[in-house]
């Protein structure tokens, strides 16, 4: 069986603290995980955390002076079966729905031809915003998948839709898509 490879795009969200456990579960299931972080994501969690857990260098900037991978973002996009964006902010959902490719993560998503899964995490007011919902509908129409969000307690103490899905549930979606792919 070919090596299972996944690109994990981490965006700016307080839910980024849940991603190390997600990577741990994926590694237990023998996935090679390469992480790309947006600059906003680095405000919530340090790239060293992901490098240590994944065992791989972390990409942040399209034009990093130190080469992270031998692959360009195009070759990287062709190296994996699944591209997971977790947590997926309203910002990344809007950018991809609009075809904006202005950083390493969005450029990789636009170049990716495998299965793309968004795991949204945001406040209910943001998730329920008609613009965000229209962007989600548009992405689903293009064949992008969504794992979550869940309904529950949010970072600000409120409760409602927008909570980051349980990492085990996200991994189940990934494993199912890998079987189907």
Domains in the chain, start-ordered, CATH in brackets? 4-180 (3.40.50.1950)
Residue carrying the six token digits 């741990």: 24
pLDDT band at 34; cut points 50, 70, 90: very high
pLDDT tens, position by position, 82-127: 999 999 999 999 999 999 999 999 999 998 999 999 999 999 899 9
Nearest to 4 by CA among 28, 33, 24, 25: 33
pLDDT tens, position by position, 123-144: 989 999 999 999 999 999 999 9
Structure tokens that stand for 124 in this block: 């209910």
Rounded distance between C-alpha atoms, residue 126 and residue 146, angstroms: 16
Rounded distance between C-alpha atoms, residue 121 and residue 14, angstroms: 8
């Amino acid at each position: 069986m070919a090596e299972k490879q996944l690109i994990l795009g981490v965006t700016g969200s307080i839910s980024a603290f849940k991603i190390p456990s997600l990577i741990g579960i994926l590694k237990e299931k023998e996935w090679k995980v390469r992480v790309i972080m947006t600059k906003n994501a680095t405000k919530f969690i340090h790239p060293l955390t992901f490098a240590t857990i994944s065992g791989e260098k972390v990409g942040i900037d399209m034009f990093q002076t130190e080469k992270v991978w031998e692959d360009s973002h195009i070759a990287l996009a062709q190296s994996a079966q699944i591209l997971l964006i977790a947590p997926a902010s309203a910002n990344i959902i809007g950018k991809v729905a609009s075809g904006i490719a202005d950083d390493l993560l969005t450029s990789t998503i636009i170049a990716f031809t495998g299965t793309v899964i968004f795991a949204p995490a945001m406040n209910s007011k943001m998730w329920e915003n008609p613009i965000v919902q229209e962007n989600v509908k548009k992405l689903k129409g293009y064949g992008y998948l969504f794992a979550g969000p869940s309904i529950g307690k949010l970072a600000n103490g409120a409760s409602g839709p927008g909570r980051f899905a349980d990492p085990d549930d996200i991994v189940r979606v990934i494993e199912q898509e890998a079987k189907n792919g």
